[in-house]
Amino acid sequence: MGKIIVIYHSQQFGNTKVLAEALAEGVREAGAEVELINTNERRVTLDEFLAADAVALGTPDYFSYLAGTIKTFFDDIYQWDQSGEPVKGKPAALFLSHGGGGRVKQPFEYLARRFFEQVGDTVEGERPINEDAKKKCLALGKELTKKVK
C-alpha cells in the first residue's frame, strides 16, 4: 500500500486543516495510507519525508506568501538535497486557504516545482471554506493516490 503524508500549516481558524482533512479522506477512500502533519505543531523529519511515496502540501496565504513553517519545510528539503539525500521528484498535490487575496499561489507553485512533480491543479479555498473547496480536495487526494498505487 502506498503512503502519503499531508503536510500543512493551520493556525488562525483551522481553515487549512479542513482542506487537509478532506484531501486525506480522498486518499483513504482511494486505498492508500495517510498521515497528517500540521507544521504549526512540529517539524517534518527527513526519515518521515523519505518514507512517503507522495505528499500533499497546504498553506494559508500569509502576507501573499507561504506560512513560515511551510517555508521552513522547503528550506529543509533544499538542504537535504544539498546533502545528497534522494528528496526530489515525489508526486505532490497543493492546496491553500486565504482571506480574499490568494497571491500565495504563485510562490507556492514556484517552490513546489523545484522539488516535486505537481499532480492536478492547486486547490484554493477562500474563508470560510465551502463544500466546493472540500470536494476539490477530496478529488485531489484520490488523484494523488493513483500515482502511488
Ligand X SMILES: Cc1cc2nc3c(=O)[nH]c(=O)nc-3n(C[C@H](O)[C@H](O)[C@H](O)COP(=O)(O)O)c2cc1C
- Contacts to ligand X by CB under 6 A: 10-17, 60-64, 97-102, 127
Q: Which amino acid makes up residue 36?
A: L
Nearer to ligand X, 99 or 107 (CB): 99
Instruction: Find the shortest distance in angstroms from Cβ 89 to ligand X.
Output: 28
Nearer to ligand X, 8 or 91 (CB): 8
Nearer to ligand X, 36 or 87 (CB): 36
Report which residue's Cβ sits closest to ligand X.
101
Cα dihedral 136, 77, 3, 40 sign: negative
Q: 101 in the Ramachandran plot: left (φ > 0), alpha (ψ -120 to 50) or beta?
A: alpha
Take residue 37 and report the three cell numbers written for it. 502533519
Instruction: Find the shortest distance in angstroms from Cβ 68 to ligand X.
Output: 9
Nearer to ligand X, 64 or 79 (CB): 64
Instruction: Find the shortest distance in angstroms from Cβ 4 to ligand X.
Output: 20
User: What angle, rounded to 10 degrees, do the helices at 105-115 and 68-82 form?
Assistant: 20
Instruction: Find the shortest distance in angstroms from Cβ 9 to ligand X.
Output: 7
C-alpha–C-alpha distance, residues 89 and 40, integer Å: 25
Do the Cβ atoms of 5 and 37 come closer than 8 Å? yes
